[in-house]
Amino acid sequence: MLITSILILFCYSFSALLIFKNIGKAGKTLRWLYLSPALMGIVLQAFLLSSLIYPQNGLINLGFFSALCLISWLVSVQILISSLYRPMESLGIIMFPFSGLTSVIASVIPPSQPVSLVSDQFIHGHIMVSVIAYSLIMLSALQAIALAYQDHSIRSHHPGGFIRYLPPLHDMETLLFQMLGFGFIFLSTALISGFFFVDDLFAQHLVHKTVLSII
């Protein structure tokens, strides 16, 4: 897995370097040429995540570094998809190398004790959907902070620093609502599927979690 993770880091970093050197200069065709290494990194990271999260039959590993690797992968996928129709690739200058770095760390550091589950794939799916929902909503919060800072900098007539490398304000806002939309869909799916495993909502101490999630 270490060799795979190093290759992932190389693909992501090479793509980020190409984007940084040609930011604002490339059309749609050349933009996708710069994103091609990142696409390869995303595919390789998906295979790596499969090995990290499901180390053995009936086990699931969602330790800190495995979950961080999954979250960074989701962000990279979101950036790549958004770049299909908007110039959002500049977000990958930082995110792509970070995603590759999490792959290396997750491969090097021994995983925490995996959780033993029954072989029911429905339960596995419920857990993964829940983690993805949490990740997307957390990312939406971070995106909202970045958007607020960008808006404040523009209104204050100080659009310097890393603000210059961010996509236009409209595109950043569109990405925020895309993340919120996907987060809402995944969280709703997680809540609906979770009710199949509830025997007694009060006895299992799930009332506060369920109510807060629904809100």
pLDDT tens digits, residue range 23-34? 766 566 677 888
Q: Please list the pLDDT of the chain residue by residue as tens digits (215 residues).
A: 789 999 999 999 999 999 888 776 656 667 788 899 999 999 999 999 988 887 776 677 777 888 889 889 988 998 888 887 777 788 888 889 999 999 999 999 876 666 655 556 677 778 888 888 888 888 888 888 888 888 888 888 776 666 777 778 888 888 889 889 989 999 999 888 877 766 665 555 667 777 887 78
> How many Cβ atoms sit within 10 Å of the Cβ of residue 12?
28
What pLDDT sits at residue 73? 92
CA–CA–CA angle 193, 196, 201 (5° rounding): 110
Closest CA to 176 of 74, 68, 82: 82
Report CA 24 to chain centroid distance, whole Å: 25
In whole angstroms, what is the distance from residue 159 CA to residue 165 CA?
10
pLDDT digits (tens, 9 = 90+) for 87-121: 778 888 888 999 999 999 999 987 666 665 555 66
In whole angstroms, what is the distance from residue 167 CA to residue 91 CA?
8
